[in-house]
Amino acid sequence: MQTSNQHDTQGAAHWAASQQQPRIAIIGAGMSGIAAIVKLNQAGYTDITVYEKSSRVGGTWRENTYPGLSCDIPSRWYSFSFALKADWSHRYSYGHDIQAYLESVAQDFDVNRHIRFNTPVRALVYEKPHWRLTTHSGEEFEFDIVISATGVLHHPAYPAIDGLESFAGARFHSARWNHDIDLAGKRVGVIGTGSTACQIVGAIAEETEELLVFQRTPHWMIPMPQIEYRKTWNRLMALLPPLRRMAYHFYKRIILHTFSEATIGNARMQKLITRACLKHLQDAVPDAQLREKLTPDYAATCKRLIVCSDYYPAVSRPDTHLITDNIRSIESEGVRTVDGALHKLDVLVLATGFDASAFILPTTVTGENGADLEQRWQGSPRAHRAVAIPDFPNFWMLEGPTGPVGNFSLITITEHQVDYIISMLDKMKSDHLAAIAPKRASFEAYNQSMGEAIKHTTWYTGGCDSWYIDDSGIPNLYPWSPLRYLKDMRNPDFSEYRLIHQ
């Protein structure tokens, strides 16, 4: 077994007792992995090895390259607080701009020197007080700390439809877009009507000969107030860093006091958002019958609200058809719906989302006394404050289960979680601790209170079936204001944890 860069501690005292650098493994070099590397380095923790399955950084923004890809959080807020970009091209960034930003941050902060690219992790095993990490190629390494930065939405979910493999044309998931396929003059089918599907449909409708959108459930949608930033405005942003900081907090406050509030019980804000959605539908879809098909029967904000201006005009085109009959099967020529109709296609796009309950899985993670993470979760993943799990000492998660991912910027959440983990490392160093793990009683009390509070949110009461809901039947989300979560991240309560000495 190999150790990481600085020292070999097999049989020796743990890092905190010997006052050495902790050997830190980070799984994933997406947005959260980059944030962890930069902030850990800034805090003086520099013995970091990152295991990235792909050949470059970026995570979600590297994996997804479909037409129309954009972010529903304003650019000037969807940024690292330590690397506020002055020259965003648009108010809401397109995917390639975000990927370029992540790559530039990685270069500016010398992130890549920590990363082992094309090295997926197969297994993690806790061997008190260290973790043994095994790569897919069979290499083994020993670490003091493991941080999972694998993200939430990275395992594509394929629909369980009879005959899916029999389709004779081009077929691919939206997260595995095949750019070799020219859609011009083709009959293209899109399964799904979530945010990804709406962006794709809006982007390709003018290109295809005929576009068929297979809708199981309509979604609430508000227009995207997109603008292209002028170069003079961006130059001013570059000259005045405080102006960038003001813009960052301006957009943060807008989301906090509108969408975030609506999801956690603000009835007035919920009504305002519903009205805005209905007005957008009325203004953008002239056909009354089509509007009826596109009108959800559940509360706005029950699912992630879609921010998109192109979808309604695209689906209203005469060469675009919204299919609301359920799919019975897929055949070599196309999609057959329950009414018996065969919808012939040349290309089939599966905009069917991701497995939101996987997180670091299918990597095998084994904690104390043989505790298996997959068996522990059983399709209903839970964590203490979305970052830690009982019986898995020194194992931390970024964007883990039950975090405020449904109504806030993931970058802001991640940065605060990294700061929380750094507080734990500082505690280990000051108290000469071998390990930290949440107490089971703290974990259970925390998740029980969340389980009760979630019943008062629109994610639970809104009457929809969303990707937030796991095998437990309840949404796997943080039920209070995101500000409360950020405050908790800034003020860790060490009494909730087992503070383990040698």
pLDDT value for 155 = 81
Residue 502 has pLDDT above 80, yes or no: no
Kindly write down the DSSP assignment for every residue of 263-281, as one continuous string: HTT-HHHHHHHHHHHHHHH
Residues facing residue 50 across a β-bridge: 26, 115
Longest dimension (CA), the chain: 74
For residues 39-54, give the mean pLDDT.
97
**pLDDT-based confidence at 6, cuts 50/70/90?**
very low
Q: Which amino acid is at 488?
A: D
Backbone phi, psi, residue 494, to 5°: -70, -15
Backbone phi, psi, residue 333, to 5°: -90, -20
Residue 1 has pLDDT above 70, yes or no: no
The position carrying tokens 């670091």 is 360
User: From the CB of residue 409, how many other CB atoms can be counted at a distance below 10 Å?
Assistant: 22
Residues 92-144: tens digit of each pLDDT: 999 999 999 999 999 999 999 999 999 999 999 999 999 999 999 999 999 99
Catalogue the E-assigned strands of 210-346. 210-214, 221-222, 306-307, 320-323, 327-330, 334-337, 342-344
What are the Cα distances from residue 155, in Å, to 209, 359, 434? Answer: 31, 8, 34
The position carrying tokens 């299919």 is 323
**Topology agreement, domain 2-7+20-57+111-155+355-497 and domain 164-227+236-350:** yes
pLDDT value for 173 = 97
pLDDT value for 3 = 54
Instruction: Classify residue 475 by its DSSP letter.
Output: B
Tokens of 197: 């599907």
How far is it, in rounded angstroms, from Cα 257 to Cα 237?
Answer: 25
How far is it, in rounded angstroms, from Cα 340 to Cα 343?
Answer: 10
For residues 396-403, give the mean pLDDT.
94
CB 30 within 8 A of CB 121: no
How far is it, in rounded angstroms, from Cα 105 to Cα 83?
Answer: 7
Alpha helices (H) in 343-434, listed in sequence order: 373-377, 410-431
How far is it, in rounded angstroms, from Cα 258 to Cα 407?
Answer: 10
**pLDDT-based confidence at 248, cuts 50/70/90?**
very high
Domain ranges of the chain: 2-7+20-57+111-155+355-497, 164-227+236-350
Q: Which amino acid is at 330?
A: I
For residues 167-194, give the mean pLDDT.
96
**pLDDT-based confidence at 181, cuts 50/70/90?**
very high
Superfamily of domain 2-7+20-57+111-155+355-497: FAD/NAD(P)-binding domain (3.50.50.60)
For residues 319-326, give the mean pLDDT.
97
CATH T-level assignment (fold) for domain 164-227+236-350? FAD/NAD(P)-binding domain (3.50.50)
231 CB burial (10 A radius; 0-12, 13-18, 19+): exposed
